[in-house]
Amino acid sequence: MIRTACPHDCPSACVLEVERLSPARIGRVRGSASYDYTAGTCCAKVARYAERVHHPGRLAQPLARLGAKGEGRFAPIAWGEALDRIAAAFRAAAARHGPEAVWPYHSGGTLGVLSRWGIDRLRHVMGYSRQKSTICVTPAESGWKAGIGAARGSDPRRLAEADLILMWGGNPVATQVNLMSHIQAARKRRGAKLVVIDAYRSPSVEAADLGLVLRPGTDAALALALMAAALEAGVADRDFLARHTDWSPEVEAHLRRHSIPWAAEVTGLAVAEIEALARLYVGTPRLFLRAGVGFSRHRNGAATMHAVSCLAALTGAWAREGGGAFFYALEGWGLDTRLAWASDRIDPRVRVLDQSRIGAVLNGEPAALMGGPPVTAMLIQNANSAEVAPDSHAVRRGLAREDLFLAVHEQFLTPTAAFADIVLPATTFLEQDDIMMGLGHTALTVAPRVIAPQAEARSNHAVVQGLAARLGAEHPGFGMSDVEILDATLRASGHGGWAAAVEAGFLPVAVDIPSGTDFAGFPQPDGRFRFQPDWAALGPYGAEMPRLPSYWQKLEWAGPETPFRLITPPARSFLNTSFTETPGSRKREGAPRLRVNPRDAARLGIADGGRVRIGNARGALTMAAMLFEGVLEGVLALEGIAPSDAFPEGIGVNSLVGADPVAPAGGVAFHDIAVWLRPAE
């Protein structure tokens, strides 16, 4: 068994043990007990990783396009010719429109220091367009930072010492199994209560001591009512508020106005359900708030995250053993990225294009282009934008432009790769060396190569190096192997070298905000939590946001033409579009099924298993209906990003999602979708 680390963005970055059957083949995969966050567990998707690594559909050699863009007809070519063509296209684009016409693009297909962000080394040295990575967590991150000051939190392992675990907007039973292990430990050892709040009855809601299903986008109303109840009960920690927050009489008066009956009307919850949660919140000082991401994927998502984050501050949970709050650890890793990312070569004059606005960028919208030239050449790594990005029809129109040269480096011929001029076969994490940032905990996990690259696959690092040589890019990192860069990065960051890291398997990093008796304040300039955030300082769209914790009624509201609200929570066997190729995951998920409340179905004449269509001005999709009491009336749920070929329309659910940026800093309202619903003809 070889120890390595998972790259997938769930985001546990688990320490793994992989059975190596030969220099080129793996067997079983399991979580390693050597790191106490992974705690010997990993998800079923990764446990079956052999079927992904050794899948017969993996890309085996570089390909050049023969047919129309999107058609998926290619012919094999040699690696040298493929890299030559890409370099020539980049030079031609830069010569005609300037280097900003080239846009290297990446996303969260991996958490690797080199495999995800190493493409930035080429970007910064060549002066190509920069990227603002907003597609996943920016609304949640903005809302968290609004109060706390940084995208960090308590050590999530501390929830094992809590008496009340408030899992808000997450589904760890399906999407983060090791987190669930720590929750179960608290329940077993301390009798801790688990509360899960979501917009549909997820497996985690079903596993909770108290599971609440509310209307999408209304979470802030529930949080405000809980804080009003705490003030009424006299359990607000006045000393903590005075010492560690910007609490004021105005804030208190504002919060007290939000009653439980009001919240019930807004959220669709029963008064008795909110009262039951309020009793737990008011009566349990050792509260650990574990905020998920899903509830922030609305147009009011950042404001909602801020309101929810106020809960732990109001009662002083941060200063109690077993108390605190955690969302993601996005900051504070302390890595010296000058070699890996060429962060020393960033030119602030180069425009920054919004990753989530790829459709608008490629369709030439001036605001999305930041007033600069068109994008006419791209290299995409770790991203399947034709399915994952919002407003998929617009994305595909952009990718289909004949004047856009597109190279895609991928493991499979995804719908995005089908639009490429050149497709390059990529390694999996088991065929390369890297370090993973464990954004769901507080350690770097170490991922040495386990097997040789399959067929002609090459790593992201190798592709960047090959293009740099052809483009004449000069930087010390371009002359180093992956292990040499990783070794130097670790040493420059105070973590010893690569060999020691591999031996350890993980490297603890002090990214957490100390809680309990060690609590000393928040990562704000004055150390105080902000009940009154400065939204304008967090992004260009912040001026319109509420000044106090609020249920901000900025949503894609249901109306006469689109009377239903659609959410798209993660599927257990997929991770975005990763694992949609593997037979085990596809069998477990089956065909897409739209969860419909039975009363809505009866009113519209929809039978269980019957074919239905949903749509809005952006598009329409056909699928089977599943009658499901676990959504409120007027709410629909479709789990996961099923492959485009699972729908008769040949395009996936994100074709219904708007690409307008979420205030204050951008991002996508993936769960804020108004649609119509009708039986399919």
Mind listing the pLDDT tens digit for each residue in 65-106? 998 999 999 999 999 999 999 999 999 999 999 999 999 999
- The answer as to whether 438 is a domain residue is yes
- The answer as to whether 31 is a domain residue is no
- The answer as to whether 303 is a domain residue is yes
Q: What is the pLDDT of residues 189-224, one digit of tens each?
A: 999 999 999 999 999 999 999 999 999 999 999 999
On whether both 429 and 568 belong to a single domain, the answer is no
CB 110 within 8 Å of CB 456: no
Report whether pLDDT(631) > 90: yes
Comparing C-alpha atoms, which of 444, 440, 449 is closest to residue 506?
A: 444
**What would the mean pLDDT of 29-50 be, rounded to a whole number?**
94
pLDDT band at 61 (very low <50, low <70, confident <90, very high): very high
- The answer as to whether 627 is a domain residue is yes
Total number of residues shown for the chain? 681
On whether both 287 and 395 belong to a single domain, the answer is no
On whether both 130 and 154 belong to a single domain, the answer is no
On whether both 293 and 312 belong to a single domain, the answer is yes
- Looking at the structure of the chain, the number of domains it has is 3
What pLDDT is stored for residue 283 in this prediction? Answer: 97
Query: What CATH number has the domain bearing residue 309?
Result: 3.40.228.10
**Which of residues 496, 522, 545 is at a domain's end?**
496
* 91: Cβ contacts below 8 Å, ≥ 6 apart: 471
- The answer as to whether 187 is a domain residue is yes
- Domain hosting residue 570, numbered range: 564-679
On whether both 612 and 639 belong to a single domain, the answer is yes
On whether both 489 and 461 belong to a single domain, the answer is yes
- The answer as to whether 190 is a domain residue is yes
On average, the pLDDT of the chain sits at 96
Q: What is the pLDDT of residues 389-432, one digit of tens each?
A: 999 999 999 999 999 999 999 999 999 999 999 999 999 999 99
* pTM of structure: 0.97
The DSSP element (H or E) to which 122 belongs, if any, is helix 119-126
On whether both 151 and 273 belong to a single domain, the answer is yes
Question: 75 - beta bridge partners?
Answer: 64
Q: What is the pLDDT of residues 180-189, one digit of tens each?
A: 989 999 999 9
On whether both 274 and 285 belong to a single domain, the answer is yes
Q: Count other Cβ atoms within 10 Å, centred on residue 33.
A: 12
- The answer as to whether 180 is a domain residue is yes
* Cα–Cα distance measured from residue 621 to residue 675, given in angstroms and rounded to the nearest whole number: 11
CB burial string 133-161: b at 16+ within 10 A, e below = bbbbbbbbbbbbbbbbbbbbbbbbbbbbb
Report whether pLDDT(572) > 90: no
**What would the mean pLDDT of 577-601 be, rounded to a whole number?**
93
* Cα–Cα distance measured from residue 675 to residue 672, given in angstroms and rounded to the nearest whole number: 10
- The answer as to whether 356 is a domain residue is yes
pLDDT band at 639 (very low <50, low <70, confident <90, very high): very high
Query: What CATH number has the domain bearing residue 421?
Result: 3.40.50.740
On whether both 219 and 354 belong to a single domain, the answer is no
Q: What is the pLDDT of residues 420-432, one digit of tens each?
A: 999 999 999 999 9
Report whether pLDDT(147) > 90: yes
pLDDT band at 438 (very low <50, low <70, confident <90, very high): confident
Q: Compute the CA torsion angle 260, 264, 270, 274 (nearest 10 deg).
A: -40
On whether both 264 and 151 belong to a single domain, the answer is yes
Q: What is the pLDDT of residues 303-349, one digit of tens each?
A: 999 999 999 999 999 999 999 999 999 999 999 999 999 999 999 99
Query: What CATH number has the domain bearing residue 582?
Result: 2.40.40.20
What pLDDT is stored for residue 534 in this prediction? Answer: 98
On whether both 306 and 366 belong to a single domain, the answer is no
On whether both 184 and 239 belong to a single domain, the answer is yes
The DSSP element (H or E) to which 244 belongs, if any, is helix 238-244
